[in-house]
Amino acid sequence: MSQSKVFSNCDEALRGLVRDGQLIAVGGFGLCGIPENLIVALRASGAKNLTVASNNAGVDDWGLGLLLQTRQISRMISSYVGENAEFERQYMAGELELEFTPQGTLAERLRAGGAGIPAFYTRTGVGTVVAEGKPHEVFDGETYVLERAICADVALVKAWKGDRFGNLIFRKTARNFNPMVATCGKVCVAEVEELVETGELDGDQIHTPGIFVDRIVQTLSVKRIEQRTVRSRSVL
């Protein structure tokens, strides 16, 4: 019988996988769909000098912001970092390296890494600082810039539901980066809100096949909102 992919907690799920200097790909968008419990376990691992590829760096006190507090991240590959004051402070002070990547390009770099495509050309970013120092090529009269795929040492994702083989279903906005992240890592660890037996998921509803997932752990999800905006009640 093959070894189970299911682990009892996030610390065990990361044991033996993470070490200093790795490239870690992390799913999620804002605070939606982030593997928040795996990030806490990554902080507890003490691994440092990490390069993290993720759409953003969370907020100051949650998500990847926790790893910025402990100075475990030395370089970020991101498309949006506007909600994290500590990120801004470290970057402006020269304490943190940042590779800005347009959001769609970041998604494609992750997808390419999982598909075995080493690089691709895109028009996005041509003529901006994003394209500086990168090879250019002309196709059908248009200039394109070469972007390298992202192949991570470890991929961390969060899914709504999964089975014991690692088949995953993502819910709504959590689906935008997590599926690509899951495929681009040499090892993928998934945390899920609901864990079912293999065969219980509808095959037509599965977003990430279990062949891409090496370890899985069921966690209690923390539902947080980056910026809560409410409409003031009108006075009649």
What is the pLDDT, as a whole number, of residue 227?
Answer: 66
Comparing 12-21, 28-37, 140-149, 199-208, the range with the smallest average pLDDT is 28-37
Comparing 122-131, 198-207, 219-228, the range with the smallest average pLDDT is 219-228
What is the pLDDT, as a whole number, of residue 229?
Answer: 73
What is the pLDDT, as a whole number, of residue 84?
Answer: 85
Structure tokens, 210: 């279990």
Report the C-alpha gap between 155 and 52 in whole angstroms. Answer: 10
Query: Per-residue pLDDT tens for 161-201?
Result: 999 999 999 999 899 999 999 999 999 999 999 999 999 99
Report the C-alpha gap between 217 and 38 in whole angstroms. Answer: 9
How many CB atoms are located within 10 Å of the residue 91 CB?
Answer: 17
Report the C-alpha gap between 236 and 229 in whole angstroms. Answer: 22
Q: What percent of the chain has pLDDT over 90?
A: 83
- As to burial, measured by CB atoms within 10 angstroms (0-12 exposed, 13-18 middle, 19+ buried), residue 95 is exposed
Q: What percent of the chain has pLDDT over 70?
A: 96
What is the pLDDT, as a whole number, of residue 81?
Answer: 78
> Where in 84-184 does DSSP place strands (E)?
97-100, 119-122, 136-139, 142-148, 152-163, 168-169
- Tell me the CATH class for 6-122+150-218: alpha beta
Average pLDDT over residues 77-102: 91
Average pLDDT over residues 103-114: 97
Average pLDDT over residues 205-227: 89
DSSP, res 199: T
Higher pLDDT, 32 or 21: 21
Report the C-alpha gap between 150 and 155 in whole angstroms. Answer: 11
What is the pLDDT, as a whole number, of residue 40?
Answer: 97
Average pLDDT over residues 138-166: 98
- pLDDT band at residue 232 under the 50/70/90 scheme: confident
DSSP assignment string, 42-105: HHHHT--SEEEE-S---BTTBTTHHHHHTT-EEEEEES--TT-HHHHHHHHTTSSEEEE--HHH
- pLDDT band at residue 2 under the 50/70/90 scheme: low
Q: How far is CA 172 from the centre of its chain?
A: 16
User: If you search the block for the tokens 């935008």, which residue do you land on?
Assistant: 176
What is the pLDDT, as a whole number, of residue 30?
Answer: 80
Report the C-alpha gap between 152 and 110 in whole angstroms. Answer: 9
Q: Tell me the pLDDT of the chain averaged across its residues.
A: 93
What is the pLDDT, as a whole number, of residue 1?
Answer: 37
Cβ-contact 121, 147 below 8 angstroms? yes
